A and B are shown apart, each in its own frame.
Chain A
């Protein structure tokens, strides 16, 4: 069914179609309308789930930690300060190997108060053991949410659907909404290794010998590495059932013959693609490798770019060093150029990308350059 939905409502629809059983939520802009919609669905009886109106984001992830430990499909969503506040639980959920899905509507971190997008909040989760995806458009945010439950439950690691504040969360697009029947067919029953339930004396999370902690992290490292295959397979099989596949961990756009490759993630990739089209029309061989996942990191796909000129456009900066993505990509390929743009939601449009890529091709960009110049002079 074709229907007009904002990114937030699309995610809520996907959670409903995935038949989540427990949802916990605390409002934070721009995530709020996801959980408002879910609350409405539960209240109207459209979704057979428990909706827990917790008193903080810390408790939101804590409550779904409990529900997931009891063996149910659960969901929560957050953003920016909310994510930082629940950050402790991020690690507990991952280390308990509990599958669940959380949407992170990416938003910059204050002060000053600012509700607009950049990717700093999401990237703080980088090292915790979550599978971290990033949507480009509303349809993809929807698709990633459904895929997230499957991938998360197969890997027994939690899953994040990342999406840009306002550009996706509050922008309506026409999307294809599959039937409940099709989703039921595609998304298997939840399975997990252990459940906390009465009369089953299992202890989870007790004190462990150091070697045990080390071994747990090692096992998680291996699992998240092998989740690359799960992600590719899920993308492929999703494509077969629903007619949309994206390329797995990355999407290639005009990449095959590109001499200049732009590496980016998130909603603004759409504008960057328009810029690429314009430059291509002039004969400039620019292409894009869009990161659909931050974790696991698409190392192999990036390695194939070695020898080409690579520009990473970053929406997050690691103080005292460089852009976070720039740094990540630099760990795989040499001589990466890194533009830092769109921090705090600073507008970056098609013209910016066109000018940026043109200057990149001419070799005019610094190794690390903040964009646009006017803002930083």
Chain B
């Protein structure tokens, strides 16, 4: 895929009200470059704001805003209607980790029915839109306004949970590697049925880093193995940007990744060690998937 051959016109118009350095903005631009005939379904979250204030709108594709817990179900209804009418559409649910918490039953139900929709969870690892509260996918030990001492529960591994729904396509992606994300969206669009992409989206105000560093932090997450890029389309494979992780001097990027973020301020060295062990386990799990789904 040549980036230069992709559409230049963004589905997200300039002047939209996202924060500086917002990862969703990056992801949404890539979405528009990858797919045609997009219909967006957006539950409550940062993207609700980014979408703009009536009578103005930031998207030049159709958007249906929906309540939190309903997104994948509303998308199911849209997809059913287009099927009935013979209309070609990429029905895309664009939601945050909040939508995947409160809407998990809905998400799971749509996956079980193998609905012909694409769900992108743009995961900034907390409920940022309401002021940085801890979510199911908040990183262990990360400080949020509801976990001021650092989150004590595990991060929910949404993508592997979705994989276990036996749907045709599941992938992880990162706003630090947009060509990889675009390729995955394109691959997803070639497949019928339920397609799920878990997009890692570091958020400057929520993670407390300078808004110029979004891509850099996103890449550090991948380099340190804290976020692993993979794809399942019947076959499971670790994606190219994540492959060097094993060969690198692993200690340095993880500390660098953690230290770059205000949300881990004051974290104990033994906790970093614990994170390293968790990452190691996750890596082994994913390699076993590669073995299993060959």
In contact, B52 and A74 (Cβ under 8 angstroms): no
Which residues of chain A are within 8 angstroms of B60 by Cβ–Cβ distance?
Answer: 201
- Whether the pair A59, B51 counts as a contact (CB closer than 8 A) is no
Between-chain CB contacts (< 8 Å), 5 pairs? A59-B73, A63-B76, A66-B74, A66-B81, A67-B80
C-alpha spacing A197/B82, complex, angstroms: 8
The answer to whether B85 and A72 touch across the interface, beta carbons within 8 angstroms, is yes
**Please, how many angstroms separate the alpha-carbon atoms of A204 and B63 in the complex?**
6
Selected from A65, A89, A199, the residue in CB contact (under 8 A) with B37 is A199
- What is the distance, in angstroms, from A373's C-beta to the closest C-beta of chain B? 44
Hey, what's the 0/1 contact readout for B35-49 against A, CB within 8 Å counting as 1?
001110100000011
Question: Which residues 80-130 of A sit at the B interface, judged by CB distance below 8 A?
Answer: 88-89, 92
Give the docked Cα–Cα distance between A88 and B51 (Å).
22
Known pairs A21-B84, A59-B106; A201 contacts B78 (CB<8 A): no
Contact yes or no, A58 B70, CB < 8 A:
yes
A94 to chain B, nearest CB (A): 13
* A53 and chain B: residue at smallest CB distance: B113
Tell me, yes or no, whether B61 is within 8 Å of chain A by CB.
yes
B89 interface neighbour in A22, A68, A88, A197, Cβ under 8 Å: A197
Measured in the bound complex, the distance between the Cα atoms of B63 and A53 in whole Å is 24
What per-residue 1/0 map shows which CB atoms of A180-214 lie under 8 Å from chain B? Answer: 00000000000000001111111111111100100
Bound CA span A285–B83, Å = 59
* A205 and B77 contact, CB distance less than 8 A: no
Q: Report Cα–Cα, A71/B78, bound state, in Å.
A: 9
- List B residues 80-97 near A (Cβ within 8 Å): 80-85, 87-90
A54 CB-CB contact with B under 8 Å: yes
CB-based nearest B residue for A200? B62
Do A207 and B54 form a contact, CB below 8 Å, given A22-B84, A65-B66, A88-B67? yes
Contact call A208/B54, Cβ cutoff below 8 A: yes
**Given known contacts A199-B37, A200-B62, is B54 in contact with A54 (CB within 8 Å)?**
no
Given contacts A59-B76, A89-B67, A207-B49, 8 further A-B contacts (CB under 8 A): A50-B84, A58-B70, A62-B106, A88-B69, A197-B87, A201-B57, A204-B65, A209-B54
Q: How many angstroms between the C-alpha atoms of A58 and B106 in the bound complex?
A: 9
Known A-B contacts A58-B106, A70-B78; A207 and B62 likewise in contact (beta carbons under 8 Å): no
Cα-based distance from A196 to B82 in the complex (angstroms): 10
Chain B contacts for A198, CB-based, 8 A: 37-39, 61-62, 82, 87-90
Q: Is the CB of A206 within 8 A of B81?
A: no
- Cβ contact within 8 Å between B53 and A206: yes
Q: Chain A's nearest CB lies how many Å from the CB of B118?
A: 13
B241: Cβ under 8 A from any A Cβ: no
- How far is A178 from B83 in the complex, measured between Cα atoms in Å? 29
Across the interface, B39 reaches (CB within 8 A) one of A50, A59, A196, namely A196
> Is the C-beta of A64 less than 8 angstroms from some C-beta in chain B?
yes
Q: Which of B49, B78, B105, B109 contacts A196 (CB 8 A)?
A: B78
B99 to chain A, nearest CB (A): 12
Closest to A63 in B: B77
Option from A52, A69, A88 in Cβ contact (under 8 Å) with B64: A69
Chain A residues positioned under 8 Å from B51 (CB to CB): 203, 206-207
- Would you call A62 and B57 a contact (CB within 8 A)? no
B108 within 8 A of A: yes
Residue of A nearest to B71 (CB): A62
- Chain B positions within 8 Å of A, measured between CB atoms, are 37-39, 41, 48-49, 51-54, 57, 59-67, 69-70, 72-85, 87-90, 105-106, 108-109, 112-113
B76–A66 CB distance below 8 A:
yes
Name the A residues within 8 Å of B37 (CB-CB): 198-199
The answer for the CA separation of A63 and B79 in the assembled complex, in Å, is: 9
Chain B residues within an 8 Å CB radius of A72: 81, 84-85
Assuming A22-B84, A72-B85, is B78 touching A66 (CB within 8 A)? yes
Interchain CB contact under 8 A, A201 and B70: no
Neighbouring A residues of B59 by C-beta, 8 Å: 201, 203
In the complex with contacts A196-B39, A201-B60, A65-B54 CB distance below 8 A? no
Q: Is the CB of B39 within 8 A of A197?
A: yes
Do A58 and B77 form a contact, CB below 8 Å, given A201-B59, A206-B54? no
* Chain B residues near A21 (CB-CB < 8 A): 81, 84
Is A325 part of the contact surface with B, judged by Cβ < 8 Å?
no
Q: Is A50 within 8 A of B83, CB to CB? A: yes
Q: Does A55 count as interface, using CB distance less than 8 angstroms?
A: yes
Residues B80 and A204 in contact, CB atoms below 8 Å apart = no
A62: chain B residues within 8 A (beta carbon): 66-67, 69-70, 73-74, 77, 106
Q: Does A267 contact B (CB under 8 A)?
A: no
Question: Which chain B residues lie closer than 8 Å to A200 at the CB level?
Answer: 62
Q: How far is the CB of B53 from chain A (nearest CB, A)?
A: 5
Instruction: Select A65's contact among B49, B74, B112, beta carbons within 8 Å.
Output: B74
Query: In the complex, which of the residues B38, B77, B105 contacts A56, with contact meaning CB atoms closer than 8 Å?
Result: B105
List B contacts of A68 (CB < 8 A): 77
A212: chain B residues within 8 A (beta carbon): 54
Residues of B within 8 A of A312 (CB): none
For B74, give the chain A residue with the smallest CB separation: A66
A67 and B49 contact, CB distance less than 8 A: no
Taking a contact as CB atoms under 8 Å apart, the answer to whether B87 and A203 are in contact is no
In the complex formed, the residue of B with least CB distance to A212 is: B54
Q: How far is the CA of A207 from the CA of B48 in the complex (A)?
A: 7
Q: What does the 1/0 interface line of A45-57 toward B look like (CB < 8 Å)?
A: 0000110111110
A24, CB-defined interface residue at 8 Å: yes
Asked whether, in the complex, the Cβ of A206 is within 8 Å of the Cβ of B66, the reply is: no
A52 to B77, CA, bound (A): 8
- Name the residue on B nearest A59 (C-beta): B73
Decide: A203 near B52, CB < 8 A? Known: A21-B84, A59-B109. yes
Measured between beta carbons, the chain A residues less than 8 angstroms from B49 are: 207
A70 touches B106 (CB 8 A): no
Q: Is the CB of A52 within 8 A of B80?
A: yes
A70 partner residues in chain B, CB cutoff 8 A: 77-78, 81-82, 85
Please indicate the chain A residues that have their CB under 8 angstroms from the CB of B52 in the complex.
203, 206-207
Bound CA span A62–B89, Å: 19
Interchain residue pairs A-B with the least CB separation, the first 9: A66-B77, A55-B109, A205-B65, A70-B81, A59-B73, A62-B70, A62-B73, A63-B77, A67-B77
